Structure 1
């Protein structure tokens, strides 16, 4: 359960801003903004989605900083009233929509801060997913760094050794002498190198980043969408609470993520698939060894694309967007480069510049 996971982390005082009131769009404004988001999706060629705890709340897994979040209630000596086990939790409508958008070539990559394994259970291939903070259903070898799917969530967090030998020889390859560790990060752990590299490269070449259910308080995870802006892309934020980067977004939608994406899929004319246990790799792991390692070929291919598109390109300074005007511009199709001057204020806050100077080798794990 989320509470048990949170309790398993080392003590840490700086858990971010907690309990900020939620905001909800009017239905008319919600519909208007969903049309704008659908149009952005239609026009974009490389879309990256950043997911946080807010996409899993409808599965019964509480978030951490919301009004009823784990850490918000912890300050009051309370626990969430709804708290399903990770083993029993099933992918939400949002998880299944994202899988379908990837299959439809509308979304090219998903970057997740979640450790609940619901992207894995949805059947989303590893090729399209970065898990920056780990996964409760993954073991990792301490030597060869290969990852394997578990049938049950780990009982420990913080990369602790299970004592189980690495399964790398299962496919006829040379056996590894390493041991398996849980794949869940604790405070101050370094992010997994390959997941972080893929996230940085995809975010940089994206012409649209969509953030779902996250306040973006984590670094470096929360700053990855800024890479999209630096290279001229657009940023959309869908969350019930204000986020760290609201003043930089081209479009903000304050509503339930499931409802937002449901409307967007209807506008796009794409059917939402049902969850199928036959596609849940944790079920397959009950009887077979399932490799969850990022392919070296995928890393090499993505690096070439990144260098071809971004190497030598001067990054743009991130200016504060004028949200009052940005929705009108998006809906009316006035989102070309020569119209961007109408969407920004001619000022840069000092703290915004500092946000970009982040050491990506360490994580401050405010999940």
Structure 2
């Protein structure tokens, strides 16, 4: 005889060390100014280390390519390989203070993000000196990836945006990135427009239900995936959400993004070259209604002349300085995984065998390796001693005679 039991739970695990203390945060600007280029993550131009206070960014030289390898080849990708520009320390500090005042006075702040905010997590940009498209144009091809796309963690900038939203200062984020780091950071989905899609998200074309995965979707270009909608009244085949070159922007995301830019009195552009149309023109919608545009990027952009403030510096450094001036603490990134526990037992010749499998909520083919051991005990059977199991699938066999099958209690 056989029976199955399924239990779901959540596990929150801090990835390496937590963020530095509040006193260290308040000294962020001074500390960051003392750090040279080798210590700081670049904007849209590199993937070097950044002083984020999160030790999980120490592997930032590793690269996550993800969907860059899946994009259709295109010769004309705009200007690539532009030189990086750096404001002097004194000028940079003055601009950081000016930006902090602009953010504080803003009634409707919208942030527009590009690849430059994710480089310090190990994800390369596209147009920088070592960007994907820059290397391809030079005949060097796509660089080797040593960090899986799904292992990239939100950066200091991602987490700062979460805190700005919680503080009521940030109303909406428009992103051109497909790395899912905004959602992983905990930023509210209803206040986020992902213009180019999400490599970790599927959508049902019929009922519009979204499925956020902890693995990268196999396809791009709005194609069918191997999975179906789990709604019992639907069951349609799911589609990926990432655009290829010829795909139009999703109307729902584009409409909300344009509406937010028209409403904004300040659009802050972070780590974007502002070259991809039609997305690059959205921030300028705020100017038509009396708003302002501020740009933080390591390279010049076609929209610089229309911006009220242009900062050439590391995005993480600029945002850390702004948060310090505003006396806002940047929260640590805490990863939350939803897990599924599958407990099964079989009875044969007065013996019972229990098997416990720990998987992600996406099914048996997605086991989770971080659970190293479990302790099994039987409160209702004093003759059965507790035991520690050390290897998945966790399996245990006991003789029960003519008694009913006892219920084990498992703990990690």
Band the TM-score falls in, shorter-chain normalisation: 0.7 to 0.9
1:62 touches 1:82 (CA, 8 Å); kept in 2?
Answer: no
Partner of 2:181: 118
**1:6 alignment partner in structure 2:** 68
Match of 1:36 among 70, 78, 98: 98
RMSD: 2.0
Establish whether residue 85 from structure 1 lines up as the match of residue 159 from structure 2.
Answer: no
Distance in 2, matches of 1:281 and 1:264, equals 34
Which residues of structure 1 form unaligned runs of 5+? 170-174, 290-367
Show the counterpart of 1:98: 161
- Number of residue pairs matched by the alignment: 282
Q: Establish whether residue 149 from structure 1 lines up as the match of residue 217 from structure 2.
A: no
SS in 1 for 2:170: coil
TM-score normalised over the length of structure 2: 0.66
Runs of 4+ in 1 over 4 A off after TM superposition: 280-283
**Of the candidates 78, 87, 99, which is equivalent to residue 16 of structure 1?**
78
CA deviation profile, 1:338-364 (whole Å, cap 9, x unmatched): xxxxxxxxxxxxxxxxxxxxxxxxxxx
Please state whether the residue corresponding to 1:6 is helix, strand or coil.
helix
Three-state SS of the structure 1 residue aligned to 2:261 is helix
Determine if the alignment matches structure 1 residue 267 to structure 2 residue 325.
yes
Deviation at 1:193, TM superposition (A): 1.3
* Correspondence for 1:46: 108
Q: Counterpart of 1:55?
A: 117
Cα 1:282–1:87 shift into 2, 3 Å: farther
Contact 1:140 1:147 (C-alpha < 8 Å) held by counterparts: yes
Give matches, 1:200-239, under 5 Å. 200-239=258-297
SS in 1 for 2:151: coil
Q: Counterparts in 2 of 1:151-170, with a 5 A limit?
A: 151-169=214-232
The answer to whether 1:133 aligns with 2:191 is no
Judged with a 3 Å threshold, the aligned counterparts in structure 2 of structure 1 residues 214 and 184 are, in CA distance, closer, same or farther, namely same
Distance 2:96 2:362 in 1: 42
CA–CA distance in structure 2, aligned partners of residues 237 and 82 of structure 1: 29
Q: Offset of 1:2 from its aligned partner?
A: 5.0
In the TM superposition, what is the alpha-carbon distance from 1:177 to its structure 2 partner? 3.6
Q: Per-residue deviation at 1:282?
A: 10
Q: Does 1:186 align with 2:248?
A: no
> 1:287: which partner in 2?
361
Q: Is the 8 A contact 1:166 1:178 kept in 2?
A: yes
Residue 82 of structure 1, CA deviation = 6.4
Q: CA deviation at 1:239?
A: 0.2
CA distance in 2, matches of 1:134, 1:123: 17
Q: CA deviation at 1:223?
A: 0.5
Q: Which has the higher helix share?
A: 1
Judging changes above 3 Å, is the alpha-carbon distance between structure 1 residues 235 and 149 closer, same or farther for their aligned structure 2 residues? same
Residues of 1 paired with 2:107 and 2:280: CA distance? Answer: 22
Q: C-alpha distance in 1, partners of 2:339/2:84?
A: 34
Higher relative strand content: 2
> Normalising by structure 1, what TM-score?
0.73
Contact 1:60 1:83 in 2 (8 A): no
Greater shift, 175-184 or 228-237, is seen at 175-184
Larger Cα-atom Rg: 2
Q: What residue is the counterpart of 1:336 in the other structure?
A: none
Please say if residues 66 and 148 of structure 2, whose CA atoms lie closer than 8 Å, have aligned partners that are also in contact: no
